[in-house]
């Protein structure tokens, strides 16, 4: 991340995005029509709206590397 023009990265926000994405994925694995999935999806979307582009990128990158 280059200094000056990059968005700050809040580690707790990246961790929150990762946690919520995992919860949404687990709920989807059980039943995408469930209330649990809808709640998890809504929480994930709310957290995404609060996140900077760099935080979103870092969370996606971490989740992607965890899957490999």
**pLDDT tens digit string along 2-46?**
455 567 899 999 999 999 999 999 999 999 999 999 999 999 999
* Alpha-carbon gap, residue 15 to 21, rounded angstroms: 10
Nearest to 63 by CA among 20, 28, 32: 20
Q: Are 7 and 53 contacting, i.e. CB atoms less than 8 angstroms apart?
A: yes
Measured CA to CA, the distance from residue 11 to residue 57 in angstroms comes to: 12
Average pLDDT over residues 50-63: 95
- Per the structure block, which two tokens stand in for 46? 């709310």
């Amino acid at each position: 991340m280059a200094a000056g023009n990059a968005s700050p990265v809040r580690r707790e926000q990246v961790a929150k995005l990762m946690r919520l994405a995992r919860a949404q994925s687990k709920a989807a694995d059980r039943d995408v029509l469930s209330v649990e999935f809808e709640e998890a999806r809504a929480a994930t979307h709310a957290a995404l709206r609060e996140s900077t582009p760099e935080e979103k990128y870092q969370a996606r990158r971490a989740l992607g590397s965890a899957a490999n």
